[in-house]
């Protein structure tokens, strides 16, 4: 360098920045994996909850199902007394031993069932409800519904409905008249007009809509006794709808008079039937069994029925006559 001239100096430019890298594929995939994983977890939790609920219901109803099959096993062996022992005390108040026998004999599949299967079970208000099929020894099936209640730690049969829709695919003919009995008493003759009284029925006195209809009487000798079965239906009772499930409660008194018009204490009792249950009932079937010794006078006897609707606070009365043969 000379004469004071300096050479031109230019600071070198910084090197260019590298181009921005595209986002890693792993980041985008990770978001989807997280979403899918969360969804799967929710599905697993839901499935687990449903599975636990199903397991709980089936575990809780395992003992009631076992009791039903124990009763069927006793019926296959023609041991009616043992089979009747599996019935609840409330059931026995409504259906006596003789009526139970008649019901079973009128439904042969009960005595010839290999097992009762049920995939639709629930427990509501302390009642185990099992819907399923009776499976016959020959493979035939019939829809049936059982209700069982606990007495202490033991489950007992409270209700049997052989017209209930079960899991079978067979077509079921609808009945022209709704039925819901704890256990149907021996079948009554069909009437086109259900309000038509029996031939031996005396005029019914009722308050409000509570009424007794379709009184029937049957007689059957048993050694030195004449077994007289009196059955009837009660309509028009009120439902208690304050709870989750409607409730009914009716109580029946019975008085029986000999051919001379004298009250027979041994064949009379207040509150002889006390029926309380939950559900929607069209009517309640009741029956009384009179065991009359051969030493009693022959002739025309009269029985009076008084029914008290404990929910509606109403009372109705009716009577029937039968000739002791």
**CATH code, 237:** 2.60.40.3880
Q: Domain count of the chain?
A: 2
Residue 237 has pLDDT above 90, yes or no: yes
pLDDT greater than 60 at residue 183 = no
- Same domain as 143, residue 241: no
Contact 290, 267 (CB under 8 A): yes
**At which of 127, 142, 161 does a domain end?**
161
CA–CA gap between residue 322 and residue 257 (Å, rounded): 11
Of the residues 161, 193, 219, the one at which a domain ends: 161
Which domain covers residue 152, as residue numbers? Answer: 60-161
pLDDT digits (tens, 9 = 90+) for 303-313: 999 999 999 99
* In the predicted structure, residue 180 carries a pLDDT above the cut 50: no
> For the chain, what's the residue count?
325
pLDDT tens profile 48-76: 555 555 555 566 678 999 999 999 999 99
> 197 in a domain, yes or no?
no
* C-alpha–C-alpha distance, residues 306 and 268, integer Å: 11
Q: What is the CATH number of the domain that holds 135?
A: 3.10.450.100
Mean pLDDT of 211-233: 90
Determine, yes or no, domain membership for 226.
Answer: yes
Q: Is 11 among the domain residues?
A: no
In three-state secondary structure terms, 24 is: coil
My answer on whether 123 and 212 are in the same domain is: no
Average model confidence (pLDDT) across the chain: 76
Read off the pLDDT of residues 152-179 as tens digits, 9 standing for 90 and up. Answer: 888 999 888 875 433 222 323 333 333 3
Short-list 204, 191, 206, CA closest to 237: 206
- CB distance 78 to 91 below 8 Å: no
């Amino acid at each position: 360098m000379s004469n004071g001239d300096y050479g031109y100096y230019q600071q070198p430019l910084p090197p260019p920045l590298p181009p921005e890298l595209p986002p890693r594929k792993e980041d985008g995939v990770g978001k989807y994996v997280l979403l899918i994983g969360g969804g799967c977890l929710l599905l697993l939790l839901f499935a687990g909850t449903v599975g636990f609920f199903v397991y709980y219901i089936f575990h809780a109803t395992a003992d009631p199902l076992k009791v039903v099959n124990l009763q069927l096993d006793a019926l296959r062996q023609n041991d009616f007394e043992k089979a009747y022992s599996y019935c609840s005390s409330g059931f026995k108040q409504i259906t006596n031993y003789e009526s139970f026998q008649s019901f079973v004999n009128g439904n042969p599949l009960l005595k010839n069932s290999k097992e009762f299967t049920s995939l639709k079970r629930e427990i509501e208000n302390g009642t185990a409800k099992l819907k399923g099929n009776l499976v016959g020894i020959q493979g035939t099936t019939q829809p049936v519904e059982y209700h069982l209640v606990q007495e202490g730690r033991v489950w007992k049969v409270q209700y049997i409905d052989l017209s209930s829709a079960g899991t079978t695919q067979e077509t079921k003919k609808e009945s022209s008249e709704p039925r819901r009995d704890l256990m149907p008493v021996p079948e009554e003759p069909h009437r086109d007009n259900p309000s038509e009284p029996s031939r031996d029925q005396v005029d019914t006195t009722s308050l409000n809509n509570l009424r007794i209809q379709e009184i029937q009487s049957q007689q059957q000798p048993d050694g030195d006794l004449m077994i007289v079965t009196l059955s009837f239906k009660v309509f028009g009772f009120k439902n208690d709808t304050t709870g989750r499930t409607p409730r009914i409660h009716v109580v029946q008194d019975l008085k029986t008079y000999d051919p001379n018009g004298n009250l027979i204490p041994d064949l009379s009792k207040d509150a002889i039937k006390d029926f309380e249950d939950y559900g929607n009932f069209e009517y309640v079937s009741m029956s009384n069994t009179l065991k009359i010794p051969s030493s009693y006078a022959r002739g025309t006897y009269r029985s009076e029925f008084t029914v008290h609707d404990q929910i509606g606070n109403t009372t109705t009365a009716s009577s029937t006559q039968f000739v002791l043969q």
